[in-house]
Structure 1
């Protein structure tokens, strides 16, 4: 717009200086300014609309502080939604014996009490996960899936360490909840937690009607298998060799030998040497 105004002024000056003809400047100049304002305003509104769309999308999945960091580069944010491969640590937590408790309370007509206790537990776990920089990926009944390192990461070692410390904090939070529930006359709960680290595909996956920002890959399945092994191994927290290698410099890792992992053969399994009981 500035260049057009300068060109217009130049043509008017040449016309007046050489041919003694004065070209009108007010109407075309005003039209150019108005056109520039409208074009700039439209571009601004379009950019703000895209930023709001990205903000609404990511706020469903991650903490507000992480959203702000993501939106500092909208092009990068769009790339994250379309899909990419990232090193992460996946955490699975599941309540032990919860299906039996559900059936028992359903038979006693205690459904509202049951849902209230579950929601209180899940709410506490979400707070712990957020406090350690993780992203709650989804709830699967009473199970919680969280990811450390997506959509943005602090490095594989830092994310794995945060994930293991988060698992310990989740056990401590459940211990506190159980103390309150025992005082209220409610059955205490127990959980198993499994972790696995490595490359996964991160992106917004689903149908046009229902999309989820999630991760897919072998490490997701392995974390779920590790959680399942807590029932047979007798340790409330288990993680794979990749996670153990990432955290062993700062956390007391304990090897439990090889265990049969469904669909994956025999794999080395690790835990921490000391864990809070529920």
Structure 2
């Protein structure tokens, strides 16, 4: 009986050690970029997702949300670097929470912006992810109104955003070396969302301008609940095919 107990205990220890290793691998690969709900689901599916401590390349249907702070250079010029970082972080903390609350993952920070992905690292319904992304964009618009009230009370500059949304297929997986590795999202969808964010920068009349492609619009469950302004078809830098662009202007009651 003693021997059996020792063998059982040793098995538990081995499984516990393996589980801890897998948890560290997931944390190293994704960091704090996922919501608690996604992290919990990742943990459930860890055996099928990890290969030799990496996420293997997978093709997934996603919606990308690319956001950038407007006028960052002017603010940075008038602030000390520490003040600039503090100002940005006040906004980023709220923006990241919006993404997490709507089921997305902040994949990358770009200094004065961020790249969020809906539909990774677990495969999801493309319609769901498009709706989540647009819900996030609308929530960012509302969040900026509240944030700027806070910034104004603290005698700090107001913050504005530009947001681009596009849907399609990407390749996801671990990229890098054993010393530095990150969860990469690669494909034309990422490039298009970035180009939409920076398209015709002078055409911004609100705190948070949201542009989306027709591909994303076509995936929405109830597009009639939203108000859109069709900008028309635009060629985007680095692409031969034009993109039909819409601006989110409101929501119908």
With structure 2 as the length reference, what TM-score do the two structures score? 0.85
CA distance in 2 between counterparts of 1:56 and 1:175 reads 33
How far apart are residue 249 of structure 1 and its match?
Answer: 2.9
TM-aligned CA distance change 1:171 to 1:272, over 3 Å: same
Query: Secondary structure, in 3 states, of the residue corresponding to 1:208?
Result: coil
CA distance in 2 between counterparts of 1:207 and 1:69 reads 26
TM-aligned CA distance change 1:114 to 1:46, over 3 Å: closer
Query: Secondary structure, in 3 states, of the residue corresponding to 2:148?
Result: helix
Bigger helix fraction: 1
Quick check: 1:54–1:71 contact (8 Å CA) kept in 2? Answer: no
How far apart are residue 241 of structure 1 and its match?
Answer: 1.6
Q: Does 1:84 align with 2:58?
A: yes
| Higher mean C-alpha deviation, range 234-243 or range 136-145 | 234-243
How far apart are residue 34 of structure 1 and its match?
Answer: 7.6
Q: Does 1:243 align with 2:213?
A: no
Quick check: 1:160–1:246 contact (8 Å CA) kept in 2? Answer: yes
Q: Does 1:51 align with 2:22?
A: yes
Alignment of 1:68-217 (within 5 A): 68-78=40-50, 81-105=55-79, 110-217=80-187
How far apart are residue 84 of structure 1 and its match?
Answer: 0.4
Q: Does 1:263 align with 2:238?
A: yes
Quick check: 1:91–1:195 contact (8 Å CA) kept in 2? Answer: yes
Query: Secondary structure, in 3 states, of the residue corresponding to 2:141?
Result: helix
CA distance in 2 between counterparts of 1:45 and 1:111 reads 44
Quick check: 2:176–2:182 contact (8 Å CA) kept in 1? Answer: yes
TM-aligned CA distance change 1:53 to 1:255, over 3 Å: same
CA distance in 2 between counterparts of 1:119 and 1:229 reads 25
- Bigger relative contact order, structure 1 or 2 (CA pairs below 8 A, ≥6 apart): 2
Larger Cα Rg: Structure 1 or Structure 2?
1
CA offset digits 1:196-231 (Å, max 9, x no partner): 100001111112211111211110011100000151
TM-aligned CA distance change 1:76 to 1:184, over 3 Å: same
Query: Secondary structure, in 3 states, of the residue corresponding to 2:157?
Result: coil
Query: Secondary structure, in 3 states, of the residue corresponding to 2:211?
Result: strand
Unaligned 5+ residue runs, structure 2? none
With structure 1 as the length reference, what TM-score do the two structures score? 0.78
Query: Secondary structure, in 3 states, of the residue corresponding to 1:152?
Result: coil
Unaligned 5+ residue runs, structure 1? 1-28
How far apart are residue 37 of structure 1 and its match?
Answer: 4.1
Q: Could you say which residue in structure 2 is the equivalent of 1:21? A: none
CA distance in 2 between counterparts of 1:53 and 1:184 reads 39
Quick check: 2:65–2:116 contact (8 Å CA) kept in 1? Answer: yes
Quick check: 2:171–2:185 contact (8 Å CA) kept in 1? Answer: yes
CA RMSD of aligned residues (A): 2.4
